[in-house]
Homo-oligomer: A and B are copies of this chain.
Amino acid sequence: MFKTKKVAKRELILAEAAKLFKDRGYSGTSMRDLAGQVGMEAASMYNHIKSKDELLDTICFRISDTYISQLAEIEATAIPFSEKIKALVRLHIRLMVEDGAAVSVANHDWKYLPEPRLTEFKQARKNYEKGFAALIEAGIAAGEFRPVNVSVALFTVLSAVRWVELWYRPGRGLSAEELENNILTVLLGGLAQR
Contacts and interface: CB of A to CB of B under 8 A. Distances in A.
Contact of A186 (B144, B156, B178): B156
A154 to B, nearest CB: 9
A194 B192 CA distance: 11
Contacts of A156: 160, 163, 183, 186-187
A163 B174 contact: no
A78 interface: no
Given A148-B182, A148-B185, A182-B149, A191 B155 contact: no
Interface string A156-189: 1111101110010000001000110011011111
A178 to B, nearest CB: 7
Interface majority SS on A: helix, strand, loop or mixed? Answer: helix
Q: How many copies of this chain sit in the oligomeric assembly?
A: 2
A146 interface: yes
Contacts of A146: 185, 189-193
A143 B178 CA distance: 21
A85 interface: yes
Contact of A189 (B157, B160, B192): B192
Interface in A125-151: 136, 139, 143-146, 148-149, 151
Nearest to A139: B191
Given A159-B162, A190-B190, 16 more contacts: A139-B191, A145-B191, A145-B192, A145-B193, A146-B185, A146-B190, A148-B182, A149-B179, A151-B167, A152-B174, A155-B167, A156-B187, A157-B191, A159-B160, A163-B163, A190-B191
Interface of A: 82, 85, 136, 139, 143-146, 148-149, 151-153, 155-160, 162-164, 167, 174, 178-179, 182-183, 185-194
